[in-house]
Amino acid sequence: MGSCTGRHEPSDVSRVGPKSPFHNSLFGTPMHRAPATMNLDHRTESQTRRASALESALGPVMPFLTDDRVVEILLNADGAIWVEKAGEGLVRTAVRMFKGDSERMLRLVAAEMLVEIHAQKPSLSAKLPPPWAGRLQAAIPPIVDAPVFALRKPARGVISLDAYVERRIVSAAQRDALVAAVLAHDNILIGGGTGSGKTTFANALVGVMAEGDRLHIIEDTPEIQCAAPNRLQVLVQPGVHSWRDAIMAAMRFRPDRIVVGEVRDGSALELLKAWNTGHPGGVATIHANDTRAMLDRVCQLIEEVVHPAPRALVAQTIQVCAHIRRDPSHPAGRRLSGLDRVVGLCPDGSWNLERIA
């Protein structure tokens, strides 16, 4: 039976114009061939120069980018570089970046993403181009004293659930329960704090999904690694294609499963609707302190668009909550701290959860 322990307070937790040479004649304007004199080599040379400039700008952090033990690189406003190594936590390095060097690096990354970072647009969320492909969050003055960034390196391949067992992050019983939940098309919510390994864990679950399923994956930065032959990966772009737009559109792409990199705004309601109307078996991640707080957080996000949140719909739609947390005392630096099945609601409206393993 589930546990009804009373209500918990919510956790705090290019436009192609009509004159374009590529305009299709089917839409009323003849398609023109590109001029024979178009210098494609020049474009390639320009890209090569930019890539070379970016590699040079990354020089101070390059040893950490190429060190497989390093999972995250942080620059503070004082110029100090901190890194997190797998299983070791954050340590301050002897490397420093001067303001001019870090600003140049960030502007080059922005240029690769065809965006800008400057005093009027001082925040940047981007992904380093190959071969590095790390997720970058950065800021420059005036919102900070000096350039800062957090650079999360992508996992070197998908870590299987068996590997999680070998590292004692999950138990064999928890692995078996998770595999059964995925194959039963349960909707699984993964929670944890920043840097706890939510996305890496989501990758392990995605790896269990049947090859015959069509996966529709929605993210703001591409981190979900999926080898399924029938998949569609969509990127959210603020001001162009929102989380809500992406989730609503997903249902028209004939998905078997919908995977969301992170639930973070009122689009949580659209996700529940999608999961609950013929597209079960999804996976999503969320920031929260424990399994109950994960469900509370979903309600908080839904209440950005409708109040009160439909708690019964949340309890009906999300079948499994898996919570992973950092644990400095653990050899792997993290562990699965909660794996609960959502049974429903208690009479007082609190979550009725049942520990799975």
Domain membership flag for residue 114 = yes
**Residues 236 and 193 reside in one and the same domain:** yes
pLDDT over 90 percentage in the chain: 57
Domain membership flag for residue 223 = yes
DSSP symbols for 174-225: HHHHHHHHHHTT--EEEEE-TTS-HHHHHHHHHTTS-TTSPEEEEESS----
Where is the domain boundary, 109, 125, 152?
Answer: 152
**Between residues 202 and 158, the one the model is more confident about:** 202
**Between residues 99 and 112, the one the model is more confident about:** 99
pLDDT at 24: 37
Residue 56 has pLDDT above 80, yes or no: yes
**Residues 198 and 119 reside in one and the same domain:** no
Residue 266 has pLDDT above 60, yes or no: yes
- Going 311 to 248 to 260 to 320, the CA torsion angle's sign is positive
**Residues 99 and 138 reside in one and the same domain:** yes
**Residues 264 and 237 reside in one and the same domain:** yes
**Residues 196 and 218 reside in one and the same domain:** yes
Residue 87 has pLDDT above 80, yes or no: no
Residue 32 has pLDDT above 50, yes or no: no
Where is the domain boundary, 131, 152, 173?
Answer: 152
pLDDT at 171: 96
Q: What is the pLDDT of residues 297-322, one digit of tens each?
A: 999 999 999 999 999 999 999 999 99
Q: What is the pLDDT of residues 113-166, one digit of tens each?
A: 888 899 999 999 888 887 887 889 999 999 999 999 999 887 777 889 999 999
**Residues 129 and 165 reside in one and the same domain:** no
pLDDT at 240: 81
Please tell me the total count of domains within the chain.
Answer: 2
Measured distance CA(213)–CA(231) in Å, rounded: 8
**For 1-15, 70-84, 196-210, 236-250, which range has the lowest pLDDT when averaged over its residues?**
1-15
Residue 235 has pLDDT above 50, yes or no: yes
pLDDT at 5: 56
**Residues 169 and 131 reside in one and the same domain:** no
Domain membership flag for residue 32 = no
**Residues 92 and 232 reside in one and the same domain:** no
Residues of the domain holding 135: 50-152
267-275 vs 243-250: helix axis angle to the nearest 10?
10
**Residues 306 and 218 reside in one and the same domain:** yes
Domain membership flag for residue 24 = no
- CATH number of domain containing 248: 3.40.50.300
Return the C-alpha torsion angle 169, 170, 175, 177, nearest 10: -150
Measured distance CA(301)–CA(15) in Å, rounded: 33
Domain membership flag for residue 6 = no
Q: What is the pTM of this model?
A: 0.75
Measured distance CA(200)–CA(167) in Å, rounded: 14
Nearest CA-CA partner of 189 in 318, 309, 276: 318
Mean pLDDT of 336-353: 96
Domain membership flag for residue 29 = no
